[in-house]
Amino acid sequence: MFKSTFIKINFTQSIIVLLLIFSSKLVAQANETAVLPDNLKWSERTARTIVNKYPKAYQIDGTEKPKWDYKMGLVLSAFEKLYQKTNDKKYFDYIKGYADELIDADGNIAKYDIKEYNIDCANPGKLLFSLYDATNDKRYLKVIQQLRSQLETQPRTASGGFWHKQIYPNQMWIDGLYMAEPFYTQYTVKYENGKALDDIARQFELVQNHLVDKKTGLVYQAWDESKEIGWANPGTGTSPTIWGRGIGWYMMALVETLDYYPKTHPKYKTLIGYLNQIAKSAEQHKSTSGLWYQVADKPDLKDNYPESSSSAMIIYALAKGADKGYLASSYKKQAQKSFDAYLKEFVKKDDKGQVTISNVSSNVGLGGKPFRDGTNEYYVKSKAKDSSSPALAAFMLSAIELNK
C-alpha cells in the first residue's frame, strides 16, 4: 500500500516537473518570437509593437471595452496602408477584427448614438470601404450609410460648417476636418456621383477664412462662429492657441481628401492651394532640427516642448503631398530630414525591438466641465505621454510614405 502510494506521488511529481519544463520552453520560445528582427522597417516595427501590446484593436490606448472611436480609426488607417504596401493579411485581419467587434449582425455600431452628432464617429468609417469591397459583407455598407446619414443631418454653423459635436454648438474644430472630410469625399465620389464635393470644399474654405491665423499662416484649434463661448476671441471667434497637432490634423485632412477628390472638379486646385499655403507656413515654423512644438508658433514659451504627434503628422503630409504632386519635390527632402530628426528626438527601441515614442500631447480640448480655456499655458501644462495613438499612427504613416 505504502509503496503504491509512493509510486503514484513520484509519478505525479514527475508529470508536474515535465509540465513545468515544457511550459518554460514554450515561454522561452514565445519570448524569442517576440523579439523583432533588426532589419524590420519602422512601419512594420511600429505595427507589430501595437499588435503585441493591444492584441485586439479596440484595446488601443488602453481602452477597456470595445468602442467606436477616432483613435482606432486613425491607427487602423495606417494598418490599411501597410496592408496595401505589404499584402500581409495579418494587418487586414487586425482591421477586420475591430470592425467585427463593434458591428453587430444587423449592421449596427455598438453604443453609437446619432443624436450626439459627434463628428469623430465618421473617421473609423473610412476603414469599411475596403472591408466591404473585399468581403461584400452588407453590414459594412449599412454602417457606411449610417455615418453618411449623420453628416446629412449634422448641425451646422450659420455659414455651413459642421459642428464638432451636438454639445459644442456653432463650433468648428480643426480635427473635425480630418474626422469627416476624407470619409465624406470617398462616399460621395463612390456612391453619389460627387454631389457633395462643393460642400466638402466649403468646409476647408471656412477653415481658411476663419481658423487660419493672418500673421503666421497656421491654424487655431477651433472657431466659434457665434463668438459666445468663453474661449473665443471676441473679434475673430478663434480659440487662443495654435496647437501643433491641430496643424497636423489639417494637413492630413487635405492630403487624404485629395486622394478621392476628382482632378476635374473646379475646387480641386483650390484645395491644393490650401495645402501649399499651410505647408509653407508649417515649414517656416519648424525647429532648427526640423520638428514642431506643442504650441507651434511660440517655441520659446516656458515649458513648451517639441511634440511627436504633430511632427509625425506634418512629416507624413509633406511626404505624401510631394509624392502625389500636390507639393514641390523639395518638401519630400524636408520630410526625410525631419524624419531623421524625429528618430533621434522621440523614438527608442526596447530589448525586444519594440517602439516607444515620447512627448505625445495629451488629448486637449475646449470648453466642457471643468471649463478648458484653451490658453497657451493650458496646452504646455497638459501632461505629455509615451506611445499614445496619434503619434504611433502618424509615425507609421510617415514611415510608410518614406519607405522606412
**Residue 223: all three cell numbers together:** 472657431
Is residue 93 annotated as part of the catalytic site, yes or no?
no
Dihedral (C-alpha) 378, 233, 217, 154: value to the nearest 10 degrees?
90
Please answer whether residues 61 and 389 qualify as being in contact, where contact means their C-beta atoms are separated by less than 8 angstroms. yes
**Residue 191: all three cell numbers together:** 456612391
In whole angstroms, give the CA distance from residue 129 to residue 181. 14
Please answer whether residues 397 and 74 qualify as being in contact, where contact means their C-beta atoms are separated by less than 8 angstroms. no
Please answer whether residues 189 and 253 qualify as being in contact, where contact means their C-beta atoms are separated by less than 8 angstroms. no
> What is the full DSSP assignment across 282-321?
HHHTS-TTS--BSBTT-TTSTT--B-HHHHHHHHHHHHHH
Which residues are CB-contacts of 124 (< 8 A; sequence separation ≥ 6)? 68, 69, 70, 72, 73, 76, 98, 102
Say how far residue 373 (Cα) sits from the centre of its chain. 24
Q: Identify which of 312, 327, 315 has the alpha carbon closest to the alpha carbon of residue 271.
A: 327
Q: What would the 3-class secondary structure string for 7-65 be?
A: HHHHHHHHHHHHHHHHHHHHHHHHHHHHCCCCCCCHHHHHHHHHHHHCCCHHHHHHCCC
Backbone phi and psi for residue 216, each to the nearest 5 degrees, phi listed first: -100, -20
Helix (H) or strand (E) run with residue 147 in it: helix 138-153
Q: Identify which of 267, 251, 258 has the alpha carbon closest to the alpha carbon of residue 311.
A: 251
Which residue is catalytic, options 61, 175, 224, 297? 175
Q: Identify which of 68, 59, 122 has the alpha carbon closest to the alpha carbon of residue 389.
A: 59
Active site residues: 175
